Amino acid sequence: MAKTFEFESSVGDGGETHQRVPKKADHASGEMHLTTNQGIRVSDNQNSLKAGERGPTLLEDFVLREKIFHFDHERIPERIVHARGSAAHGYFENYKSLADITKADIFQRAGEKTPLFTRFSTVAGGAGSVDTPRDVRGFAVKFYTKEGNWDLVGNNIPVFFIQDAIKFPDLVHAVKMEADRAFPQAGSAHDTFWDWASLMPESTHMLMWAMSDRTIPRSLRMIEGFGVHTFQMVNAKGKVTFVKFHWRPKLGIQSTVWDEALKLQAADNDYHRRDLWESIAMGAFPEWELGIQAFDQKFADKQPYDVLDPTKIIPEEDVPLRMIGRMVLDRNPDNFFAETEQVAYCPANIVPGVDFTNDPLLQGRLFSYLDTQKSRLGTANFHQLPINAPKCPVMNFQRDGMMQMAVPKGRANYEPNSLSAHGEEGGPRECPMTGFTTANAVTGEDEQGGKLRVRTELFADHYSQARMFWKSMTENEQAHIASSFVFELSKVVLEQVPPRMIANLRNVDEDLAKRVADGMNLELPKKAQARREVVDMKPSPALSIQKKMKKTLDGRKVGILFADGSDPAEIKAVKTAVEKAGAVAFLIAPKVGGAKVKGGAILKADGQLAGSRSQLFDAVAVVLSEAGCKMLMTEAAAVQFVMDAFGHLKAIGASDAAQPLLDKAGVVADDGVTGLGKDFIAAAQLRFWAREPSVRLLA
Ligand code: HDE
């Protein structure tokens, strides 16, 4: 046979011909053999079956057809919302018995660990969209408890845009890419979103959060999580307590600044996904504490808001968090598709001891998720996929359906039955004592009233908590919120929309409304009519990110820029100090292969300058010789590196010889601009908010 080209076989036989030459030992050697999905060994994974060397491919080539068939169907519909996600395995460790509040098994014993799988997501963008748009983050946890799966499907913001599930499709249609043009991807700064939002005053509180730095997090490891709705917990005696769930990151909450988030979209599309993966891979396991706010009906009745309203929070100052356990994410998925993509969360997955409330948004969600899973995963048996399967026995009379994996034995597929009297397996039976009972049935509360399409009156207060949020921010955070409104509304072409939004904002705070109007060069519009009088609630400092940011380098990343002639001892000293403080030190040079440092040795870099922008780091050190600095002053990437670090309010530590580069980048000395010693390590733990007015015109 003529030799037409050479190839490398997947089993590495390096054959001289283009035909796979079988090795003698193939069948006996115990090597890993390639097979079809039917288990038939494949002899040649490089050539399809043809009639003659240059002839047509044959229909009988089942190896080819099966391989291409499977490939053609590799994608499943992405989630309609929260399509872009990253996940990890881990465990929940219960601190001590919570039996006073709940009978849920997971909370009964101190130190008990329950396996879990947590998926973080953005909301609006598709599965391939960037990680750092301004967007809410999903925070969904599947606890594989001994009593079945409990899914706490929350967000990184404690309130939501709407009060009733019937508005959800409108919200999602409005925020996602526009129907005719299919852009913008993954961002709310466009006509249809603000058209809708400005007509929905109930979204105002959530908009305040969405325009704050909460929606541009530094890392998924540094976001808070919230169950959003009020849930109930039920103890063994049937006593019901209302609860709100909170996740608090051990590394502290930390955000980026908007310009940084925008530039991150170019610097690394997968910034959050990579950060989560790399931290877990290196053993720096992200951790959160789970806290609850527990309260009763008496407390609920006294508040100026309805605890069933998902556009409201309960200030922590009124009901402090009780920390009940911690979540550690300690294992990356083995396979993104099988786990992260196929995981199916559902707020209706609940265990005895936890229960829903009548929050009308939650009630709608209880329907939606099961429905979406069938459409996405194609079968009612999606619960049998390994990532979704409970780790406790599952026994019932449900049968068949597409992709049935279980092989139930016997005739018992109905109940009641008396098959056991005949010596046959009768199957499982209901369990009134330990089975799930709805809290209402336990407390004897009855629903009352006719069937009405209404909302209770307190739901009509759309502004009091939005105002409380505004008043709880630092000045710099307020400036960020006002500026985000300006940024987003400036992208809106529909002329009627920005004034309508600003008219709503006048109910939140006159100064905010004025700053947004000024930022857009618009007249202040007439104030929108509020349905209920706005109540002045006490500010809640716990809502501010800046007030509670942790001064730490733990879990952070510091970029160290060097070049030919840099002093290796200086580089080493900074790197060691950074690592000692708990951060990752990342060496950057013009060439990744390294630079010839003082003394003539080559020091390898972790990243090349053009591909390692300063957005990727929490602080930067610039260790240069005079010659190295002179060279880098002609490299825009180096100037930009320093300029962005300064503009993003980060610490910059520099060797004396690097000063001309700092000057060229417009760096002006302040507390965040230091030498390379201890002062740099201290500064690197902070962001320099006070610097911002000198680098950016904020609204
Ligand atoms: Fe979701 N939501 N949602 N949602 N949601 C989905 O389920 C829905 C809401 C949240 O990582 C979908 O499996 C309705 C609030 C997260 O896989 C879908 C309503 C909160 C995730 C769905 C809401 C969330 C979803 C799409 C209004 C915070 C991603 C794919 C009644 C408390 C979970 C899927 C993951 C996903 C419906 C509102 C959080 C369509 C109808 C409020 C974190 O079923």
What is the model's pLDDT at position 7? 41
d(CA 123, CA 81): 5
Q: Give the residue with greater pLDDT, 21 vs 157.
A: 157
Cα four-point dihedral sign 291, 161, 534, 452: negative
Q: How far is the CA of 81 from the centre of ligand 1 (A)?
A: 7
CATH 3.90.79.10, domain 553-694, yes or no: no
The CATH fold assigned to 50-193+214-379 is Catalase HpII,  Chain A, domain 1 (2.40.180)
What is the model's pLDDT at position 397? 97
d(CA 675, CA 75): 52
d(CA 362, CA 230): 9
> Confidence class of residue 2 from pLDDT cuts 50, 70 and 90?
very low
Average pLDDT over residues 534-541: 96
Reported for 298-304, long-range contacts at CB under 8 A and 24+ positions apart, including other chains, are 299/242, 300/242, 304/458, 304/461, 304/464, 304/535, 304/537
Beta bridge partners of 578: none
Could you tell me which residues come within 8 angstroms of residue 174 by beta carbon, excluding any fewer than 6 positions away? 192, 193, 195, 196, 197
- Asked whether 200 and 161 are in contact (CB, 8 A), the reply is yes
Buried b (16+ CB within 10 A) or exposed e, 619-653: bbbbbbbeebbebbbeeebbbbbbbbbbbbbbbbb
Has residue 17 got a pLDDT over 80? no
How far, rounded to the nearest angstrom, does the alpha carbon of residue 349 sit from its chain's CA centroid?
Answer: 20
Rounded (5°) CA angle 489-491-492:
65
Please list the active-site residues: 82, 155
Tokens of 164: 């009733």
Atom of ligand 1 nearest to the CA of 229: 32
Q: How far is the CA of 492 from the centre of ligand 1 (A)?
A: 27
Q: pLDDT digits over 597-655, tens only?
A: 999 999 999 999 999 999 999 999 999 999 999 999 999 999 999 999 999 999 999 99
Atom of ligand 1 nearest to the CA of 82: 29
Identity of the residue numbered 15: G
If one residue of 82, 118, 363 were mutated to test the ligand 1 pocket, choosing by the most ligand atoms within 8 A of its CB, it would be 82
Pocket of ligand 1 (CB under 6 A): 79-82, 85, 119, 121, 138, 140, 153-155, 160, 165, 168, 228, 343-345, 361, 364-365, 368-369, 372
Q: pLDDT digits over 355-396, tens only?
A: 999 999 999 999 999 999 999 999 999 999 999 999 999 999
Q: pLDDT digits over 315-343, tens only?
A: 999 999 999 999 999 999 999 999 999 99
Q: Rounded mean pLDDT of the chain?
A: 94
Q: How far is the CA of 485 from the centre of ligand 1 (A)?
A: 25
> Which stretches does DSSP call E strand in 254-370?
287-295, 322-331, 354-355
Buried b (16+ CB within 10 A) or exposed e, 419-445: beeeeeebbeeeeeeeeeeebeebeee
Has residue 29 got a pLDDT over 80? no
- Whose CA is closest to atom 42 on ligand 1? 160
Atom of ligand 1 nearest to the CA of 121: 11
Same fold? 461-547, 553-694 = no
Look at residues 216, 289, 275 and name the one whose alpha carbon lies nearest to residue 247.
289
SS3 content of the chain, % helix, strand, coil (to 5): 35, 15, 50
CATH superfamily of 461-547: Catalase, four-helical domain (1.20.1370.20)
Tokens of 440: 């209402």
What is the model's pLDDT at position 439? 86
Average pLDDT over residues 81-104: 98
Q: How far is the CA of 155 from the centre of ligand 1 (A)?
A: 9
What is the model's pLDDT at position 21? 57
If one residue of 78, 79, 80, 81 were mutated to test the ligand 1 pocket, choosing by the most ligand atoms within 8 A of its CB, it would be 81
- Whose CA is closest to atom 19 on ligand 1? 365
Q: pLDDT digits over 171-224, tens only?
A: 999 999 999 999 999 999 999 999 999 999 999 999 999 999 999 999 999 999
Q: How far is the CA of 686 from the centre of ligand 1 (A)?
A: 34
If one residue of 120, 206, 365 were mutated to test the ligand 1 pocket, choosing by the most ligand atoms within 8 A of its CB, it would be 365
Average pLDDT over residues 94-103: 98
Burial classification of residue 521, based on how many CB atoms lie within 10 Å of its CB (0-12 exposed, 13-18 middle, 19 or more buried): exposed
- Whose CA is closest to atom 18 on ligand 1? 369
> Confidence class of residue 30 from pLDDT cuts 50, 70 and 90?
low
Tokens of 542: 């716990």
d(CA 607, CA 593): 9
User: In whole angstroms, how far apart are CA 530 and each of 308, 314, 441, 482, 583?
Assistant: 21, 22, 38, 21, 49
Secondary element (H or E) of residue 263: helix 258-267
Q: How far is the CA of 333 from the centre of ligand 1 (A)?
A: 21
- Asked whether 354 and 234 are in contact (CB, 8 A), the reply is yes
Cα four-point dihedral sign 99, 105, 107, 113: positive
Domain ranges of the chain: 50-193+214-379, 461-547, 553-694
Q: How far is the CA of 662 from the centre of ligand 1 (A)?
A: 46
User: In whole angstroms, how far apart are CA 581 and each of 399, 457, 543, 685?
Assistant: 56, 53, 27, 9
**How many CB atoms lie under 10 A from the CB of residue 86?**
22
What is the model's pLDDT at position 4? 43
Atom of ligand 1 nearest to the CA of 80: 26
Q: What percent of the chain has pLDDT over 90?
A: 93
Atom of ligand 1 nearest to the CA of 153: 43
- Asked whether 586 and 561 are in contact (CB, 8 A), the reply is no
d(CA 684, CA 574): 11
Burial classification of residue 321, based on how many CB atoms lie within 10 Å of its CB (0-12 exposed, 13-18 middle, 19 or more buried): middle
Burial classification of residue 281, based on how many CB atoms lie within 10 Å of its CB (0-12 exposed, 13-18 middle, 19 or more buried): exposed
280 backbone dihedrals φ, ψ, rounded to 5°: -70, -40
- Whose CA is closest to atom 7 on ligand 1? 369
Least confident range of 226-230, 434-438, 443-447 = 443-447
Q: How far is the CA of 101 from the centre of ligand 1 (A)?
A: 27
3-state secondary structure of 242: strand
- Whose CA is closest to atom 43 on ligand 1? 138
Q: pLDDT digits over 260-305, tens only?
A: 999 999 999 999 999 999 999 999 999 999 999 999 999 999 999 9
Could you tell me which residues come within 8 angstroms of residue 209 by beta carbon, excluding any fewer than 6 positions away? 157, 158, 159, 215, 469
Has residue 449 got a pLDDT over 90? no
Atom of ligand 1 nearest to the CA of 140: 43
- Whose CA is closest to atom 31 on ligand 1? 165
What number of CA atoms fall less than 13 Å from residue 23's CA on the CB side? 14
Has residue 35 got a pLDDT over 50? yes
Average pLDDT over residues 253-265: 97
DSSP at 77:
P
What is the model's pLDDT at position 529? 97
Predicted TM-score (pTM) of the model is 0.95
Look at residues 195, 187, 142, 121 and name the one whose alpha carbon lies nearest to residue 501.
195
- Whose CA is closest to atom 8 on ligand 1? 365
- Whose CA is closest to atom 44 on ligand 1? 369
What is the model's pLDDT at position 24? 54
> Confidence class of residue 70 from pLDDT cuts 50, 70 and 90?
very high
